Chain A
């Protein structure tokens, strides 16, 4: 019998060896595969329930923090300012992917980067809080004024420091309260999310940097910059004849001035009255496709702006204008018929006609297929204010460790050079005239030098509706401007044919007053 008992011992040993091998397979060799399994929500919940660092504005207002939670997870996220910062902080949710800074700075907030976890040798042995605090360039006082000034009109306000790219205010109405989305109760969070997704006003969309609009007349700044950069146009020469209509070549719908008016003159005058006919001609016949595209892209169109918030939209400037046909003068002389043998650049500085020059004429005044984010238009003004250099826009300035020591500082970084400093100076002066004597008079603020350009992007005439724009800069006298801004009030019911000067400029003016107390 003892032989059998020993054999039983061997059999049992083998069976337990199988258990041990399988245990190794599950816990060690195959553990990674199991952890990555789509059905495994452990990592997700663990990630969600961790303590994360707070987010604080430049003037010390707490806009996101982790609070201890008594339930399925250890911590949950709270956004004390609710919807005011929703499009900046974003949210961290159990059900849907995080957005905003919660996403772009996820690792730093959670304390994952090696340099945060092991700042010193001692950290190898101590479980120290390694989460980072994000300090924003957003000023709560300015942000709050921007939101109040826009009120319950759909639109966006972007204000930034043109010298550094630091964003001071970034507001879109409508916004949303991120707190319900961060609910550790997945069902409640889902219900809140579904309601926001179903809202026709798309409150979840941070339109200030994620939606593109016709920039309308504000785009004339880009066309002007292209003309000056090409050496074709100065502040006071040439002088364009007064006209009510521009006939595009080779063919296309005539372009008229706002309210059928007539305008002309030098560059400053053209900007002051926002002269459609002259800017169409400058873009289509003087600057031409190649240089228009180059300059628009130098301002940031057709590219990522490098903002530290995820999901930013690219602004758009059309690049395809077809084959070149003939020089404008000979084209016109031949009765708008194609003429063989055109040269690329004509002695008078003008450019040959292209198949789609009519499209370029429209694009040059911010219509046709041109579309820009409010952030992009703020950067157009910022480039002009900053001697032609576009700084990379960002909302985070500093990362602080739990003990308040500095982990990292986001240094200002040039993104592009849009134009020369001299071109920028010409446009700055012209914009100042626009604010003092032109369509942007509502910007004027005591003790501050301001420059601006309005835009009224018409979407239709029955009923008449249009996006109202203002872009501009502000600074202390005899100093480089320290504020650039863009405001858009979207076309909406009940606001028939609003103009940038009347509707958007007062909002920008409120922001300037808040920024320069």
Chain B
């Protein structure tokens, strides 16, 4: 069968030359082993005993991995085999560190993981072709805006830790913005499919109006929800997708001007933005107060050194929000530079695979949608890791797949499923139809 396969016309991961699902099986076994060992070590480090629930935990983990893997086999048999194992590795490592930090979060996070896998499978199941999404681009756009506004609705929205990005339905809190990211990415891609030719052929001032709209929307998120991270994320998403679609540098230039203009305006107008910048410039100016979190995060990373203190052997609990915003510092403390670099590499692999899907897409919508989703993943990771590492001002957003948080986890699994779906579509297109050999 493989002998008749025509050579791919687009860059292909070497792994794709093999049977992707068999490769995935092998990778998943390795990920399972790594996470199981990490879980046992972390538990041993904190309680000096092999955890009693190691067996059930392993069953649960392997079960979830197996479900996702079977879904891939059935619904996306040709997809790039690195997406799922790497995401599960990040998710598993995050779970180990979260439970090690706060055992009471274990049940919740494993429930969210299960829901996330459920969302992954459901997405593969209900989105057999990504072009279906293109049909609903405007609906999704409006939906995204509505999702963003839910937290502002009195009685439904909740403010937690200064950001009004939460919606409460009964006992469940979730961040609608996490899902708005996905629908907006679909909308941007669909919208630009329509206007792309126009944008490429001529460029007048009014054609840049959409950037202005996106900019205004992003500022709105920042002003009304006090969510700097998401604001930055939305704006970057739009500018990047528009730039690739229009193939015009001026988009980047205008985007940069607007970005810095907006950032400066926000800096002059809002105390909390000024504070963030001040902390970024010199966290040690107020090490026990404003700079505490970032200073403790740096101390944790420094304690980790090259090889880390060992799972369960460090004191990452000293960092405020170690299980969400600062989980990267917690990993760096206990797994050292080796572990934190591995996490960065894992994200780079995901991003690379995502960009490859975008590159290989034949249709513009898939190309821009995959690009948008990958950009979301890449920029969100950069913003939070860069914030922890004092490369950029800190904004409180989650580290995809790793941080504690249900909305983020589920949304990212849906994002992953969409990339996997597109990857599968390309693979199927390359392969000759069944029965022709």
Contacts and interface: CB of A to CB of B under 8 A. Distances in A.
Nearest to A35: B302
A34 B375 contact: no
A186 to B, nearest CB: 13
A2 interface: yes
B303 A35 contact: yes
B112 interface: no
A277 B114 CA distance: 97
A19 B355 contact: no
Given A9-B355, A12-B351, A16-B344, A31 B367 contact: no
A42 B303 contact: yes
Given A1-B367, A31-B305, A39-B284, A19 B298 contact: no
Interface string A31-56: 11011010110100110000000000
Contact of B301 (A6, A20, A27, A37): A27
Chain B interface SS verdict (over half): helix
Nearest to A32: B302
A19 B306 contact: no
Given A1-B247, A5-B371, A19-B386, A27 B355 contact: no
B12 to A, nearest CB: 14
Interface string A15-37: 11011101110111011101101
| Most chain B CB atoms below 10 A, which of A26, A35, A39 | A26
B306 A15 contact: no
Interface residues of A, number: 32
Shortest 4 CB-CB contacts between residues of A and residues of B: A34-B302, A39-B287, A31-B302, A4-B244
Contact-residue size bin, chain B (C-beta under 8 Å from the other chain): 35 or more
B359 A6 contact: yes
Given A20-B344, A23-B332, A27-B340, A8 B299 contact: no
Contacts of A31: 301-303, 305
A22 B348 CA distance: 16
B355 A5 contact: yes
Contacts of B382: 12, 15-16, 19
A67 to B, nearest CB: 16
A11 to B, nearest CB: 9
A28 B359 contact: no
B337 A27 contact: yes
B210 interface: no
Contacts of B287: 37, 39
Contacts of B337: 23-24, 27-28
A43 to B, nearest CB: 8
B358 interface: yes
Interface in B346-386: 347-348, 351-352, 355, 358-359, 364, 367, 371, 375, 378, 382, 385-386
Interface of A: 1-6, 8-9, 12-13, 15-16, 18-20, 22-24, 26-28, 30-32, 34-35, 37, 39-40, 42, 45-46
B350 to A, nearest CB: 11
A23 B298 CA distance: 10
B336 interface: yes
B288 interface: yes
Contacts of A39: 284, 287-288, 295, 299
B362 to A, nearest CB: 11
Contacts of A27: 301-302, 304-306, 332, 336-337, 340
Interface in B219-267: 240, 243-245, 247
A109 B313 CA distance: 21
B89 interface: no
A35 B299 contact: yes
13 contacts: A9-B355, A13-B348, A16-B382, A19-B386, A20-B341, A22-B391, A23-B341, A28-B306, A37-B299, A39-B299, A40-B302, A42-B299, A42-B300
